[in-house]
A and B are shown apart, each in its own frame.
Chain A
Amino acid sequence: MSAVPSALGGGGPRGASSFFTWRALTILTTAVAVLGPLSLIVYQSLLTAPFFDARKTAGFGAYAFVFADEDFWKALRNSVVIAGGMTLIAVPLGAILAFVMERTDLPFKRWFEPLILVPSFVSPMVLSFGFVVAAGPVGFYTVWSQDLFGVAPWGLYSILAMTVIAGLTHVPNVYVYASAALKSLGSDVEEAARSAGASPFRVAMSVSLPLILPSMLFAAVLVFFLGFELFGLPLVLGDPEGILVLSTYLYKLTNKLGTPSYHLMAAVAVCIVAITFPLVLLQRKLLQGARKYATIKGKAGRMRELPLGKWTGLALFIIVAYLFVTVIVPISGIALRAFVTNWGFGVNLSEAFTLDSFRYVFQETTHTRAIWNTILIGTVGGALTVACYTAIGFATHRRDDGWSRLVDYLVLVPRAIPGLLAGLAFLWIFLFVPFLAPIRATIFSMWIAYTVVWLAYGMRLISSSLMQVAPELEEAARSVGASRATVSRKITLPLIRPGLIASWLLVFMIFEREYSTGVYLLAPGNEVIGAQLVSLWQGGAIDIVAALSLINILLVGAGLAVALRLGVKLRD
């Protein structure tokens, strides 16, 4: 990361050799930042006690314990069921929404698109908590429904409910890929079907969606994979019922033996990585396949919107119902809870109104610091992160050698490690690597962890910007004698500037939303809202959770507003 300044200012007289030194340094830093935590986790999983404990011995005891624990198998089964179920919900719904938004003359489209993407920018911890206060057994909507209709025919605390909520909140992940693929599809084939008398639904099912199957397959694998990383949702909705998934099982091991069982947690983490890493590789393959497939798209002629006709009502209903359940219900729940002292049956909400939670949040230094840190890590931290990613991007840009391929795989690794565990590994590193120790209790430690954890996501943003720069421009500069560094600085960098600003905004929102990475790293001084919420939720300070959640939503909303204003495409 120290290589960044030279990436931007170097080159010139020092010429090629300094470029290669810089490139080697960037690749080396990336490798250390990615492989350090992973190898620590693997090493820890092969010990019988915390690695810093003098009484540790090597062995496979941790794996033996985990594999003999029936809770592990239950958690694994639940993870598979939920991941599979949510894929079955998110993929069709995301594809239909994408079709309606991209290809039809649905009214108010401009307003719907940012709203559809909201669930992917709000912390799952916040959304789940919102569902509890809004639609839990005594949630606001439940109580209203009971009063109005005498029944509230839903329940939150079951595998089914978790699957449905997870499915609905992952619709945006499918939506972005499906709509990108639809965009690159000519509308002539659809028009042909339409003029032959097919309904819009029939067009979607028989023509458009089959054509974007590769993208949907990719999105399906992505959602399935994300299913194994769910943490906030099962923590809030599943834990009280004893419904475990892999990540909450891992979290539970923190205390199950009474004293820390890092070796067991590490063993579970290795098991999770053993499942997720192949999925990450599969995604990579599918993405390449999807791009290849996209080349046989129809002629990129003028797009014509399909008239929905009498189907308009149904399409509007689907979108509004989706937004109501996934966005409006949880967020209004949180907003309400933040302003009342107590809630439930027979509580008059206007009497329970209070601003105390906010007053308390703004009085308490740990909370104000969390708010500032969260803003800081998104803005300044986000910019630095984009700078780091750009440096890595340049180190591999237009170079098809072994090193570039190595980096390609390296950046995928953190994707497979659950944020919770990555955070724990970083805590160990900050504790036991002497020169890193001073930054442990500063926001810088969080920033490093975030930057590594989101490496794959960020690199996709950067490399898609870089790929848009036509090679001729760079080659022209090269041919008049500019060094690689000069080309990067004077040609490529200015050309991708809009892409970098867009990446910055997306990284801002992702960092505002992030919560699991900070859970173990959290220390006085480096508080961020996301991790603070997990800790406060565990501690039961619900008023404060609601207030901080609302503040978090406002921060994300601010980022979203700026992004929309600048016309940033809200997708990777």
Chain B
Amino acid sequence: MRGFVTVAALAAASLGAFAQVPAGYPADYAKIVAGAKAEGKVVIYSALDTKAAAPLVKDFNAVYPDVKVEYNDMNSTELYNRFIAEVASGQGGADVMWSSAMDLQVKLVDDGQAMTYASPEVVKLPKWAVYKNQAYGTTYEPAVFIYNKRLVTGAEIPQDHASFAKVIESNTAKFKGKVTTYDIEKSGVGFMFVVQDTKYFPGMKDLERGFGATSYKVYSSTGNMLEKVSSGEHLLGYNVLGSYALVRAKKDPNLGVVLPKDFTLVLSRVMFIGKKAQHPNAAKLWTDYVLSQRGQKMIGGEVELFAVRDDVEAEYTASKLNKQLGGVVKPIPVGAEITEYLDSKKRLEFLGQWKATLAAGGGK
């Protein structure tokens, strides 16, 4: 008798939830939906701030009103530190990790911290954005140059990496102390960008010397660079996260944005589900939602990042960016190769060379 009641209750629950299985998903997805409903919430650790992610969370709740989203934003290093500490202490923290520090995310996957989950949406993603069916690239955010529109005009606006180097080198007096980029010792994203730059841009050393010659200023975050270039304290910003820059530039008449013409690096925020996630079903729902066409439309629209999927119509999408720039877009792959410089010896060597080149340019 008791067994029957349980079965009936389960059937009723899955029937009620069945209506929510997205089109094209396997029928047994209803189990995940029911499980998520029972779990009641999903805990997300993300490097994207709460304000920016709010539309996404709201839309997710429109689809799954029974799953409460506990969204926590922190910077990408903190995200990593907190996650490993919580796992080690056995205090469950994050169900879903979502971070722009692609290398750290991939490292966590390689360290066995991620759950294997082949999202039904995998087939719709570019190959480079899927890693071991554990980690997924969710966005398509270009690294851009920024400049102060009132104080930098005409030929002084760099259009590609080589002209960036030339502009600051040919006018070090004007640009002394006015060029900014990430502090690569502090910002994992900034570090990752310059490692990629050295791959695609043979003149990188000239640029570094130019940074040295103009005593460039470094910050650990995009917001600081945008603020200081907008106010005119700095004039040019290098390798700034384009998703944030373009959003601010829309409202801020002082800020100009350039997508480099020779090559444009693209970062993709990596998402995975924690191996010991306490709300695994809810985490799966969230991940699938973000990768789905509906979620991607939000990301390319109100969230104002760039949708990674090709089949999405929105203001900011990978396909639009690719069309605009032709073949020069270089997405950083979600793969083992990007963790190369997490080896502390290699990293310190790279940092040492970077500093030496700056010094050769006459910098600090």
The interface of chain A, by Cβ under 8 A from chain B, is: 50, 52-53, 136-138, 239-242, 252, 254-261, 341-347, 360, 364, 366, 427-428, 431-432, 437, 440, 522-524, 535, 537-542
- B contact residues around A522 at 8 Å (CB): 74
- B contact residues around A535 at 8 Å (CB): 74-75
B106 to chain A, nearest CB (A): 12
Q: Are A431 and B223 in contact (CB under 8 A)?
A: no
User: How far does the alpha carbon of A335 sit from the alpha carbon of B219 in the complex, in Å?
Assistant: 24
Q: Are A431 and B91 in contact (CB under 8 A)?
A: yes
Q: Tell whether A258 pairs with B103 under 8 Å between CB atoms, given A52-B89, A344-B232, A538-B220.
A: yes
B82-100 vs A, CB cutoff 8 Å, 1 = contact: the mask equals 1011101101000000000
Q: Are B89 and A437 in contact (CB under 8 A)?
A: yes
A259: contacting residue among B51, B220, B342, B348, CB under 8 A: B342
A254: contacting residue among B77, B103, B150, CB under 8 A: B77
Most interface-central of A53, A259, A364, A541 (chain B CB within 10 A)? A259
Indicate whether B341 reaches chain A with its CB closer than 8 angstroms.
yes
- B contact residues around A258 at 8 Å (CB): 103-104, 188, 191, 341-342, 344, 347
- B contact residues around A259 at 8 Å (CB): 80, 104, 107, 342, 344
- A contact residues around B219 at 8 Å (CB): 239-240, 540
The interface of chain B, by Cβ under 8 A from chain A, is: 49-51, 70, 72, 74-75, 77, 80-82, 84-86, 88-89, 91, 103-104, 107, 150-151, 177, 180, 183, 185-188, 191, 215, 217-227, 230-233, 251-252, 254, 341-342, 344, 347-348, 351, 364
Pairs A-B, 9 closest by C-beta atoms: A540-B223, A344-B231, A52-B88, A540-B224, A344-B232, A540-B221, A240-B217, A257-B344, A431-B89
B305 to chain A, nearest CB (A): 16
Chain B binding surface SS class: helix
**Nearest residue in A to B54 (C-beta to C-beta)?**
A364
- A contact residues around B187 at 8 Å (CB): 255
**Nearest residue in A to B76 (C-beta to C-beta)?**
A255
Known contacts A50-B88, A239-B220, A254-B77, then 14 further A-B pairs from the complex at CB < 8 Å, ordered by chain A residue: A50-B84, A52-B89, A53-B84, A239-B183, A239-B218, A256-B351, A258-B188, A260-B77, A260-B81, A261-B344, A344-B231, A346-B150, A539-B49, A540-B227
A47 to chain B, nearest CB (A): 13
- A contact residues around B104 at 8 Å (CB): 258-259
User: How far does the alpha carbon of A259 sit from the alpha carbon of B51 in the complex, in Å?
Assistant: 27
Q: Are A344 and B230 in contact (CB under 8 A)?
A: yes
- A contact residues around B223 at 8 Å (CB): 539-542
- B contact residues around A239 at 8 Å (CB): 183, 218-220
A369 to chain B, nearest CB (A): 12
Q: Are A538 and B89 in contact (CB under 8 A)?
A: no
Q: Are B232 and A345 in contact (CB under 8 A)?
A: yes
Q: Would you give 6 A-B contacts (Cβ < 8 Å), ordered by A?
A: A240-B217, A255-B185, A431-B85, A540-B225, A541-B49, A542-B224
Q: Tell whether A437 pairs with B185 under 8 Å between CB atoms, given A240-B219, A524-B70, A540-B223.
A: no
Q: Are B84 and A138 in contact (CB under 8 A)?
A: no
- A contact residues around B221 at 8 Å (CB): 538-540
User: How far does the alpha carbon of A239 sit from the alpha carbon of B219 in the complex, in Å?
Assistant: 7
User: How far does the alpha carbon of A364 sit from the alpha carbon of B215 in the complex, in Å?
Assistant: 38
- B contact residues around A524 at 8 Å (CB): 70, 72
User: How far does the alpha carbon of A442 sit from the alpha carbon of B255 in the complex, in Å?
Assistant: 40
User: How far does the alpha carbon of A240 sit from the alpha carbon of B217 in the complex, in Å?
Assistant: 5
- B contact residues around A255 at 8 Å (CB): 77, 185-188
**Nearest residue in A to B346 (C-beta to C-beta)?**
A258
- B contact residues around A254 at 8 Å (CB): 77, 81, 186
B357 to chain A, nearest CB (A): 14
Q: Are B85 and A342 in contact (CB under 8 A)?
A: no
User: How far does the alpha carbon of A541 sit from the alpha carbon of B224 in the complex, in Å?
Assistant: 7
User: How far does the alpha carbon of A572 sit from the alpha carbon of B3 in the complex, in Å?
Assistant: 71
**Nearest residue in B to A344 (C-beta to C-beta)?**
B231
**Nearest residue in A to B244 (C-beta to C-beta)?**
A540
User: How far does the alpha carbon of A254 sit from the alpha carbon of B80 in the complex, in Å?
Assistant: 11
Q: Are A136 and B233 in contact (CB under 8 A)?
A: yes
User: How far does the alpha carbon of A346 sit from the alpha carbon of B232 in the complex, in Å?
Assistant: 9
Q: Are A242 and B232 in contact (CB under 8 A)?
A: no
B218: contacting residue among A240, A342, A431, CB under 8 A: A240
B208 to chain A, nearest CB (A): 14
User: How far does the alpha carbon of A252 sit from the alpha carbon of B186 in the complex, in Å?
Assistant: 6
Q: Are A241 and B217 in contact (CB under 8 A)?
A: yes
